[in-house]
Structure 1
Amino acid sequence: MKNLFIYSIVLFLSASCSSSTEEKAAAPEKATDENAVSLTEAQIKNAGIETGAIQSQNMNSVLKVNGVVDVPPQNIVSVSFPLGGYLKHTNLLPGMHVSRGEVIGTIEDQGLVQLQQDYLMAQARLHFLQQEYDRQKELSEQQVSAAKTFQQVQADFAAQKVLVKGFGEKLRLININPASLNENNISRSVPVYSPINGFVSKVNVNIGKFVNATDVLFELINPDDIHAALTVFEKDLSKIKVEQLVKVSFVDEPGKEYDCEVILVTRNVDVNRSGTIHCHFKTRPRNLLPGMFLNGSIHIENVPALTVPEEAVVRYGNKEYIVQATGENKFQLVAVETGIRENKRVAVSSTSTELSGMQVVTKNAYAVLGKMKNTAEEE
Structure 2
Amino acid sequence: MKTNTILSLSFLLLLMSCANAEKEATKEVSRPAVKQENNIVQFTAEQKKIAGITTGMPEKRGMSSMLNVNGLVDVPPENVFSISIPLGGYIRKTNLIPGMMVRKGAVLATIEDQQYVQLQQDYLMAKNKLKFAESDYIRQKGLNATKATSDKLFQQTESDFNQQKIMVKSLAEQLQLIGLNPLTLTAGNISRRIQIYSPIDGHVTKVNVNTGKYVNATDVLFELINPKKLHVNLTVLENDASSLKEGQKIVCTTNRNPDKKYLATIHLISPAIGEDRSISVHCDLENYGKELLPGTYLNAAVKLNHASVTAVPDEAVVKWENKFYVFTDEGNHQYKMIGVEPGILSEGFTEIKSPLPAKNIVMKNAYAILMKMKNGGEEGA
- State if a TM-score over 0.5 links the two structures: yes
Q: Once the 2 structures are TM-superposed, how far is the Cα of residue 83 of structure 1 from its aligned partner?
A: 1.8
Distance 1:237 1:346, change over 3 A: farther
Structure 2 distance, partners of 1:133, 1:142, is 15
Q: Once the 2 structures are TM-superposed, how far is the Cα of residue 87 of structure 1 from its aligned partner?
A: 2.0
8 Å CA contact 1:87, 1:210 repeated in 2:
yes
Residue of structure 2 aligned with 1:332, choices 329, 338, 362: 338
Structure 2 distance, partners of 1:64, 1:96, is 34
Distance 1:268 1:166, change over 3 A: closer
8 Å CA contact 1:322, 1:361 repeated in 2:
no
Which amino acid counterpart does residue 82 of structure 2 have in structure 1?
A: S
Other structure's SS at 1:291 match:
coil
Residue of structure 2 aligned with 1:82, choices 79, 86, 111: 86
- Summarize deviations over 1:341-376 as a string: whole Å, max 9, x none: x3xx223242xx24596754433347548958998x
Structure 1 distance, partners of 2:357, 2:201, is 57
Structure 2 distance, partners of 1:335, 1:366, is 21
Alignment of 1:267-278 (within 5 A): 267=269, 271-272=277-278, 275-278=281-284
- Summarize deviations over 1:160-206 as a string: whole Å, max 9, x none: 11111111111111111111111111111110010111111111222
Question: Mean Cα displacement is larger for which, 323-332 or 166-175?
Answer: 323-332
Other structure's SS at 2:56 match:
strand
8 Å CA contact 1:55, 1:357 repeated in 2:
no
Other structure's SS at 2:126 match:
helix
Q: Once the 2 structures are TM-superposed, how far is the Cα of residue 312 of structure 1 from its aligned partner?
A: 2.3
Q: Once the 2 structures are TM-superposed, how far is the Cα of residue 326 of structure 1 from its aligned partner?
A: 8.8
Structure 1 distance, partners of 2:341, 2:306, is 25
Q: Once the 2 structures are TM-superposed, how far is the Cα of residue 307 of structure 1 from its aligned partner?
A: 2.9
8 Å CA contact 1:320, 1:337 repeated in 2:
no
Distance 1:294 1:308, change over 3 A: same
2:197 corresponds to 1:193: yes
Structure 2 distance, partners of 1:265, 1:358, is 46
Match of 2:224 in 1: 220
2:123 corresponds to 1:119: yes
Which runs of no fewer than 5 residues in structure 2 stay unpaired? 1-36
Which runs of no fewer than 5 residues in structure 1 stay unpaired? 1-35
Other structure's SS at 1:207 match:
coil
Residue of structure 1 aligned with 2:160, choices 147, 156, 162: 156
Match of 2:366 in 1: 364
CA RMSD in angstroms, aligned pairs only: 4.0
8 Å CA contact 1:306, 1:356 repeated in 2:
no
Which amino acid counterpart does residue 134 of structure 1 have in structure 2?
A: I
2:285 corresponds to 1:279: yes
Structure 2 distance, partners of 1:373, 1:81, is 83
**TM-score when scaled to structure 2?**
0.71
Residue of structure 1 aligned with 2:349, choices 346, 349, 363: 346
Aligned residues: 330
2:40 corresponds to 1:39: yes
Structure 2 distance, partners of 1:224, 1:356, is 57
Distance 1:303 1:231, change over 3 A: farther
Other structure's SS at 2:136 match:
helix
8 Å CA contact 1:231, 1:277 repeated in 2:
no
